[in-house]
Amino acid sequence: MECVFGLVGNGFAIVAADTSAVHSILVHKNNEDKIMVLDSHKLVAASGEPGDRVQFTEYVQKNVSLYQFRNGIPLTTSAAANFTRGELATALRKNPYSVNILMAGYDKEAGASLYYIDYIATLHKVDKGAFGYGSYFSLSTMDRHYRSDMTVEEAIELVDKCILEIRSRLVIAPPNFIIKIVDKNGARVHATRQSVQDVTTAAV
Amino acid sequence: MSRRYDSRTTIFSPEGRLYQVEYAMEAIGNAGSAIGILSKDGVVLIGEKKVTSKLLQTSTSTEKMYKIDDHVACAVAGIMSDANILINTARVQAQRYTFMYQEPMPVEQLVQSLCDTKQGYTQFGGLRPFGVSFLFAGWDKNYGFQLYMSDPSGNYGGWKAAAIGANNQAAQSILKQDYKDDATREEAVQLALKVLSKTMDSTSLTSEKLELAEVFLTPSGNVKYHVHSPDSLTKLLLKHGVTQPAAESS
């Protein structure tokens, strides 16, 4: 029931992910950050097998860092997305990674961009994308309201509409979300949306 | 005494020298020269052809200049058969990069990658080093036009103007005097022709003995690698007053 979605606005890209770590019927924690900061100007929102998700995203992050150390220049978002897809493709017919990724980035020349990379190594450059059961609701909502070159405020309004739709229509909807943004100033947390805090009761 | 330390590439001499690498560089010192010059709107590569028989089929192949990728070309000096292996290696490395990142390989990374291959032959395997020096000319979006020189040791450097092959020291000192930072491509061609005419051994400079190539950007922003035809070369030689026809020796 993981929900990950994102969209491109005017000079920025925004991604939102639920923050539940679930195993069968148990919620391990509800503040798990599934949006990794890949480098100063890239975000990777990932959903899928928890072990694969962490393993694969960290592998990509370390390779992106290595490239930068070796060559003194960062990878473009497009190059990083293609590298990621290539690794998924290579592993696909041996030990596939069960990870879906939305990669958002900002490059000086290309501006803000969003890449849809699914677990069988599909790669698409998109304006808006989503994964998981939540995608049935968020994609439809984004299709209805998305315009190119939205401001940050308009984009957050749309993200909130999607979260509302997911919360009201998905049977086991995740309660909490984290929203991160990347623009010319870098990649950072923008906001969280919480309807359930961690429970800390004192036994009486 | 140094004879004891020649035979294996993978050992140092007592003075701390790698003789096989130095002997490889000697071999290149006897080969046809090549000069590269960086200008603000392109890179010029010029080479002296050693094989100039009338019987040679010259229409399709080049002796000194090779294209590695759409945005990188090189000039070679040294043992041609060794050069062919390395050129192919460089081409594969460039394509492998593009396959992984869907972008052209930055020029310095390509040079570095090839030089890492060359270095391997000076440290392990017991194989001799490659007897080739390269001048790489290319363009990428990070640093624009670039010129790199590499030698059999696997060392490389970025240059504004460089020479390899026979008489490269003489050529290098003329370049040091006459090179101007803000030269245009045309001025760079002129300088290259002038330097080569001064350092070449042969008495006459004709278009059959030369190869001239330029790497530049077309108006639409694509990188172009252009090898001059013999006619174009002859015209250039005349224009810059560099031709010394053998007949005119009075």
pLDDT in tens, A76-101: 999 999 999 999 999 999 999 999 99
d(C-alpha A84, C-alpha A75), whole Å: 12
Chain A closest CA to B105's CA: distance in Å? 11
Structural domain harbouring A24: 3-199
- Residue B112 reports pLDDT greater than 60: yes
**pLDDT for A202:** 66
Query: Domain of A26: which CATH number?
Result: 3.60.20.10
- Residue B249 reports pLDDT greater than 50: no
d(C-alpha B245, C-alpha B250), whole Å: 11
Contact A114, A131 (CB under 8 A): no
User: In a 3-state reduction of DSSP, which class is residue B85?
Assistant: helix
Query: In this prediction, what percent of chain A has a pLDDT beyond 90?
Result: 95
Contact yes or no for B141 and A79 at CB 8 A? no
Architecture category of domain B19-49+61-238 in CATH: 4-Layer Sandwich (3.60)
d(C-alpha B118, C-alpha B188), whole Å: 30
Number of domains in chain A: 1
Which residue did the predictor score with more confidence, A188 or B125? A188
d(C-alpha A173, C-alpha A138), whole Å: 12
What is the average per-residue pLDDT within B114-141? 94
What is the average per-residue pLDDT within A7-16? 98
Q: Tell me how far CA of residue A150 lies from CA of A10, A146, A156, in angstroms.
A: 5, 8, 10
**pLDDT for B236:** 92
ipTM of the prediction greater than 0.90, yes or no: no
How many secondary structure helices (H) and strands (E) does chain B include?
6, 10
Tokens of B45: 């590569």
> Could you tell me the pLDDT band of residue B140, with boundaries at 50, 70 and 90?
very high
Contact yes or no for A86 and B103 at CB 8 A? no
**pLDDT for B5:** 66
* B106 neighbourhood in chain A, CB within 8 Å: 71, 73
Residue B191, C-beta contacts closer than 8 angstroms, at least 6 positions apart? B37, B161, B175, B178, B179, B183
Q: Tell me how far CA of residue A189 lies from CA of A116, B77, B94, in angstroms.
A: 20, 55, 37
| b/e per residue B163-199 (b: at least 16 CB within 10 A) | bbbbbbeebbebbeeebeeebebbebbbbbbbbbbeb
Which residue did the predictor score with more confidence, B245 or B4? B4
**pLDDT for B1:** 52
| Strand B210-217 relative to strand A26-29, pairing | unpaired
- Residue B248 reports pLDDT greater than 50: no
d(C-alpha B99, C-alpha B95), whole Å: 6
Q: Which residue of B has its CA nearest to A82?
A: B101
Q: Which residue of B has its CA nearest to A73?
A: B142
What is the average per-residue pLDDT within B71-85? 96
Chain A closest CA to B103's CA: distance in Å? 7
Tokens of A32: 């798990």
**A9 burial class (0-12, 13-18, 19+ CB within 10 angstroms)?**
buried
Tokens of B114: 């090839």
Report the alpha-carbon angle B219-B223-B224, nearest 5: 90
Nearest to B101 among A73, A83, A109 (CB): A83
Chain A closest CA to B239's CA: distance in Å? 41
d(C-alpha A176, C-alpha B112), whole Å: 48
* A115 neighbourhood in chain B, CB within 8 Å: none
The answer as to whether A188 is a domain residue is: yes
Which H or E run contains B115?
A: helix B107-123
Contact yes or no for B100 and A78 at CB 8 A? no
Q: What is the pLDDT of residues A151-179, one digit of tens each?
A: 999 999 999 999 999 999 999 999 999 99
Give chain B's mean pLDDT. Answer: 91
Closest to B114 measured CA to CA, from B142, B140, B136, B138: B136
Nearest to A71 among B99, B106, B141 (CB): B106
The answer as to whether A204 is a domain residue is: no
Closest to A159 measured CA to CA, from A173, A184, A141: A141
- Residue B154 reports pLDDT greater than 50: yes
Contact yes or no for A83 and B99 at CB 8 A? no
Q: What is the pLDDT of residues A98-134, one digit of tens each?
A: 999 999 999 999 999 999 999 999 999 999 999 999 9
| Strand B144-150 relative to strand A42-48, pairing | unpaired
Contact B134, B159 (CB under 8 A): no
d(C-alpha A153, C-alpha A29), whole Å: 29
Question: Within 10 Å of residue B26's Cβ, how many Cβ atoms?
Answer: 10
Give chain A's mean pLDDT. Answer: 95
> Could you tell me the pLDDT band of residue B8, with boundaries at 50, 70 and 90?
confident
Contact yes or no for A82 and B100 at CB 8 A? yes
The answer as to whether A11 is a domain residue is: yes
d(C-alpha B21, C-alpha B155), whole Å: 11
**pLDDT for A83:** 97
* A79 neighbourhood in chain B, CB within 8 Å: 101-103
**pLDDT for A33:** 96
d(C-alpha B248, C-alpha B118), whole Å: 45
Q: Which residue type is seen at A155? A: A
